[in-house]
A and B are shown apart, each in its own frame.
Chain A
Amino acid sequence: MNKIVLGLVVGGILGALDGLSALVSAPETQPQIVGIVIGSTIKGIVAGLLIGWFARKVRSVPAGVAFGFFIGLVLAFLVALMPDAEGKHYWWQIMLPGSIVGLIVGYATQRYGAVARA
């Protein structure tokens, strides 16, 4: 599996799990859970794609982890910008897990996945 596909898969799975975790951390979001999971999965896939592409270009675990953290944080920030029905923003509740998911994808794509042949 190449690094971009690995990033897509890991990002998608972690994104979906991250979305599902809202059922535990915020049970009141249950009616919107399908939308949350889809949105979180798409966010994970986009993050995985970018981080996987970066891993193909730059072979450095620290750089990959930092890039993953940054991408996760930015995408989570964009999601957190959207308030809920009552106008409440979930800043750190979304940005903290999002950035750690990015960090995990960053590490995974650097450590694992086949290097593209020239």
Chain B
Amino acid sequence: MSHITSRAIARLREAVEFPDLAGTQYDAVEAIGRGGMGTVFRVHDRELARDVALKVLSAREVSEDARARMLDEARILARLEHPGIVPVHDVGVLPDGRVFYTMKLVRGSRLDEYARATHEIADLLRVFVRACEAVAFAHSEGVVHRDMKPSNVMVGAFGEVLVLDWGVAKLLDRGTATETTTADAAAPSSSAPSTPPRRSADTATGAVLGTPGFMAPEQARGESAHVDPRSDVYALGAMLRQILQASRAGAMPRRLRAICDRATAVDPAARYPDVASLSRDVERFATGQAVTAYKEHWTERARRLASRHRIAVTLIAAYLLMRVLIFFLDRP
């Protein structure tokens, strides 16, 4: 009797997951990522002669709820037109009934990989601020990401920054933390299934979605009603701490540590009120200004100002030194 090896089983699973793209304009090339709900493939668009990313529901996820969630993800993404958010091109259903959507194929490094190869804090902060801009835009559109982490941020070869994986995003009623329907979300293309928009992602109270280590405490407790933009502030703070620790930039400056601490406060009210405030504080740090998260001693303030205006201070010191030299050299 022969046994099927685990390797063979893995290959069989892969074959099952590989999408049957018959009847679409796409040819599958390779799997490039796998999440809890779906798999992302690089596919070739024959009509437009370009490669795009295609996310398809996993073969195991065949429930109506999973289908609806996938559609919600596509609709939320379609609604978020921003340079820092990956654009959706198309949405539809495969012959086997699985929902898919295509989006821009992002080439580059995940932020966690990028951070490990980076020596410059300034460069990481630039990427972080760009990710914050995308998330702040999503909040302005009433969408909370709920799964911000370094592996969900891509840094392109030309420095572009894209926030990915909006699969567990939550739609808010503007100005409140109440969940609402996605009725005003962008409509899918004609080839898409006609499932009406449903209540936003998963979010019965008690359901825990997100990634440990990045989830805000209220999110980790499954208090879905309390998840709001400040939950993303928490995740961004945790993300900032992790990329700085992973980088080769050395010890984290005290003011930057204070920014991470404020963003990741257990009490949402003690955090930055929104992502824009967090981002502004990071930018203030990056440009040598005082940050709101840290009350500095006057000696620290003097050091910071001297560092910020290093050349001016050097020139004035050179002038004073020269004056002292003249004083002593000109003595009779």
* A contact residues vs B (CB 8 Å cutoff): 21, 24-26, 92-93, 96-97, 100-101, 103-104, 107-108, 111
The verdict on B62 contacting chain A, using a C-beta distance below 8 Å, is: no
- Interface majority SS (helix, strand, loop, mixed), chain B: helix
Chain B residue nearest to A90 in the complex (CB): B330
A-B contact list, 7 entries, CB within 8 Å = A24-B323, A24-B327, A96-B326, A97-B326, A100-B322, A104-B319, A107-B312
In the A-B complex, the 6 residue pairs with the smallest Cβ-Cβ separation, listed nearest first, are A104-B315, A25-B327, A100-B319, A25-B326, A21-B323, A93-B326
Q: A100 touching B326 by the CB < 8 A rule?
A: no
Interface range on chain B: under 10, 10 to 19, 20 to 34, or 35 or more? 10 to 19
Chain A residue nearest to B315 in the complex (CB): A104
Q: What is the bound-complex CA distance between A92 and B325, given in angstroms? A: 12
Q: What is the bound-complex CA distance between A100 and B321, given in angstroms? A: 11
* B contact residues vs A (CB 8 Å cutoff): 311-312, 315-316, 318-319, 322-323, 326-327, 330
- Interface majority SS (helix, strand, loop, mixed), chain A: helix
Q: B315 touching A103 by the CB < 8 A rule?
A: yes
Q: A93 touching B315 by the CB < 8 A rule?
A: no
Contacts of A97 in B (CB 8 A): 319, 322-323, 326
Contacts of A92 in B (CB 8 A): 326
- Shortest C-beta distance, B73 to chain A (Å), equals 45
Cross-interface CB contact of A25 among B315, B319, B330, cutoff 8 Å = B330
Q: A97-B319, A97-B322 are in contact. Are A104 and B330 (CB under 8 A)?
A: no
Q: What is the bound-complex CA distance between A24 and B326, given in angstroms? A: 10
Q: A107 touching B311 by the CB < 8 A rule?
A: yes
Contacts of A26 in B (CB 8 A): 330
Contacts of B318 in A (CB 8 A): 100
- Shortest C-beta distance, A76 to chain B (Å), equals 13
Contacts of A108 in B (CB 8 A): 312
Q: A104 touching B312 by the CB < 8 A rule?
A: yes
Q: B326 touching A104 by the CB < 8 A rule?
A: no
Q: What is the bound-complex CA distance between A97 and B327, given in angstroms? A: 12
Contacts of A96 in B (CB 8 A): 322, 326
Contacts of A107 in B (CB 8 A): 311-312, 315
Contacts of B322 in A (CB 8 A): 96-97, 100
Q: What is the bound-complex CA distance between A100 and B318, given in angstroms? A: 8
- Shortest C-beta distance, B141 to chain A (Å), equals 34
Q: B330 touching A101 by the CB < 8 A rule?
A: no
Q: What is the bound-complex CA distance between A111 and B309, given in angstroms? A: 10
Q: What is the bound-complex CA distance between A21 and B330, given in angstroms? A: 13
Q: What is the bound-complex CA distance between A25 and B328, given in angstroms? A: 8
Q: What is the bound-complex CA distance between A18 and B86, given in angstroms? A: 59
Contacts of B326 in A (CB 8 A): 25, 92-93, 96-97
Q: B312 touching A93 by the CB < 8 A rule?
A: no
Q: B315 touching A100 by the CB < 8 A rule?
A: yes
Contacts of B316 in A (CB 8 A): 104
